Amino acid sequence: MRARIVLTTAALVSTAVLPVAAGPAGAADSATQLPDHAVHQAAQQAKPHFVVSVNASTAELVLGSKVTIKGEVGPAKRAAGVRATLQQRAVGKKGWRSQATVKVKPNGKYRFTDKPTTMHARHYRVVVPAVGKVGQGVSKKVLVTVYRWLNLAEVENRDFNGIVPDETAKIDTVRYEHSLVGSRWGTTGFIDYNLTRRCLTLKTRIGLGDDSDVSATALITVEADREVLYSKSFGLTQSATTSLPLRGVFRLRFQAVTTNPDSSDQRYPDGAEAVIASPQVLCSF
């Protein structure tokens, strides 16, 4: 009788243990059923990889100038001598293009120099390949926008009346090509451009052209999105150079109001030639 009781107790203990043992086995079966890509991703995350920092010497660059891309790779001892690759991708485009490689220095540092030849804004990043048990490292991306100087008179304008683009004028005997020149036969004139917030600077000389009458004057105003950036009146042979900020400007407008006491018709005085001489804009288009 005692033996039967012991056997029954043992059977109960064995039965109680079985579900506990099945638990981990079931979890293991579940893990093996993970999608292949999930398993691979988990393995990659667990694997040590190179850590790559990156920075650009400038975020804005004039075409023809150089930009330096540099940073560090860790762990430095494993990265030393490995060839890091500089990659570039135009904003709005897909796919990275490898551009150059350099060896990582013993201290983990690297350095690239690039001289862009096109106008688009671009991202840079640096890739360090896997070595042994250390996985590939990819830096964050850095943005660099390339600008160039353009003759504004050759850029398509939005509208104009009384100021003619891409003309030649003289101020105090100096000849200026690619200018914006006001008509001598009216009292007001304007011309404007949509810069679409892609320009940084305007540089020009503003004054009264040599074809003006001796008594004539011209008040010339430069506006950016209705804000007056510059306004000054000039007489014969008078002019001034100016450089104006255009960052964030959508609409650039030039306006001229002329006077001439010696005009034969004071209702519509003529004889004053407003000149925006050889204006140039630094833009990314």
| pLDDT tens per residue, range 22-39 | 344 444 444 344 455 454
DSSP at 247: T
Residue 152: the pLDDT is 98
- Secondary structure element (H or E) that encloses residue 45, with its range: helix 36-46
CA distances from 31 to 18, 36, 46, 70 (A): 21, 11, 16, 42
Non-local CB neighbours of 280 within 8 Å, separated by 6+ positions = 149, 150, 151, 152, 202, 203, 204
In angstroms, the CA 122 to CA 56 distance is 12
| pLDDT tens per residue, range 165-188 | 999 999 999 999 999 999 988 788
The total of other beta-carbon atoms located within 10 Å of residue 242's CB is: 16
Do the bridges between strand 239-245 and strand 227-234 make them parallel or antiparallel, or are there none, so unpaired?
A: unpaired
Tokens of 66: 């150089």
In angstroms, the CA 233 to CA 235 distance is 7
Domains annotated on the chain, with CATH: 51-148 (2.60.40.730), 155-283 (2.60.120.1060)
The total of other beta-carbon atoms located within 10 Å of residue 118's CB is: 8
Higher per-residue pLDDT: 34 or 152: 152
**Helix count and strand count (H, E) for the chain:** 3, 20
Residue among 116, 54, 48, 44 at smallest CA distance from 85: 54
| pLDDT tens per residue, range 71-129 | 999 999 999 999 999 999 999 999 999 999 999 999 999 999 999 999 889 999 999 99
